[in-house]
Chain A
């Protein structure tokens, strides 16, 4: 009899312990400008910061914003969504990065999706920030996808001084849409795999899709490095001291396709800096740059290139106008 009771108690305890993690993390958590990180981050008891909410949010879950506020810098180490649409949601990142996404800290066994979604966030470095969104990894965890939608990233002039820095060496996907990246001391959007020693490496293929993104006032608008393959559509690259669009592939080939975009008022409009680089241009306005092109580029014969200081290296037409690969 006593043995049976003990078994029952042990079984009940085991069931309770097994159930505990499911209750500890919710699939939807909330932050509020007047919340408290001691709270469970529920709608009625919201947290104050993203960093406080993330540990209470389940894998593949979502953090939402109840009301306007500054919700602090955060490091993301699992598949999650931070979506503050319709609410003013800011991160001030003085002297630091706004959002770190170190994929090597993800649990590769449990986290099959490895997907981070960021929506409607304003990330302001207040002139001293380092990087708005920094994506790293590839040494132990490869792949993964990051979606950046409807965000504003501004004012990073400390350290690397970038807006978005994609440094994964193990491949992956990056999607940026309906977003503004501006006022950076160095590069607004940089894609370049970085090795453990901090040096650029060949890395695995990083696919980047940029749609309806305003990139303004940095040294470089977008710089795409080794093994990057970028599709850029309906975007603006303006007011960059050195180059609006720059690609360099000294360690691995880079491909860039730019369409329906405005590239204006830059030192160089489109720059093929070094290495194995293919840049294809279609239906773009390339105007008022000091130099329109530097290095080899290819054109579908349908770009408007006017009012630049110098044309420099004219693009090479892709096939005949009536050819299968040309302007059709």
Chain B
């Protein structure tokens, strides 16, 4: 009797494990297909490219957020719980150059200076209510010489 119960339990456990395995497999399959198509994102986080472009609309609506050889950097924008927003800028541009980084048509956030390989990674924080739900960034060196200006695609929450 004891042996039968144990066997029965063993079978149940085995069947249970099989179902868990099948469910997990289906879940993983669904995830894999989804991730192949798009990258999942936190709704409080957006990622926009900094594109080499001399002019753009204040909201960045005319800047394509697509990868191209004109992309010089990437901004990850995160709305934080303390009602501030953090913009993490990672870029590769002209070496040893200071760029003025701004909330386009709103205000300057600060400077970014590239190293001798043209790389800079900098974070800025600003009050979330200082911008609307759709805005953009702009970046250029002193004097904003043509060909050295970068516009971000639209950040839209």
Contact = CB atoms under 8 A, between A and B. Distances in A.
A273 B33 contact: yes
A242 B25 CA distance: 10
A196 B40 CA distance: 23
21 contacts: A70-B116, A93-B92, A94-B92, A95-B50, A95-B72, A95-B90, A95-B121, A96-B92, A97-B67, A128-B76, A128-B88, A130-B71, A130-B74, A131-B67, A186-B39, A223-B36, A242-B28, A246-B32, A268-B28, A294-B25, A312-B21
Most chain A beta-carbon neighbours within 10 Å: one of B24, B36, B120: B36
Contacts of A130: 67, 71, 74
Interface string A158-201: 11110000000000000000000000011100000000001000
Interface string A39-73: 00000000011000000000000000000001011
B15 interface: no
- By secondary structure, the A interface counts as loop
A158 B119 contact: no
B92 A92 contact: yes
A256 interface: no
B76 A158 contact: yes
A158 B90 contact: yes
Nearest to A246: B32
State which size class the interface on B falls in.
35 or more
A310 interface: yes
Interface residues of A, number: 47
B35 A94 contact: no
B36 A220 contact: yes
Interface of A: 48-49, 70, 72-73, 75, 92-97, 100, 102, 126-131, 134, 158-161, 185-187, 198, 219-220, 223, 242-243, 246, 248, 267-268, 271, 273-274, 290-291, 294, 309-310, 312
B119 A92 contact: yes
Contact of B121 (A100, A126, A160): A126
Interface of B: 21, 24-25, 28-29, 31-33, 35-36, 39, 47, 49-50, 66-69, 71-76, 88-92, 95, 116-121
A173 to B, nearest CB: 22
Contacts of A294: 25, 28-29
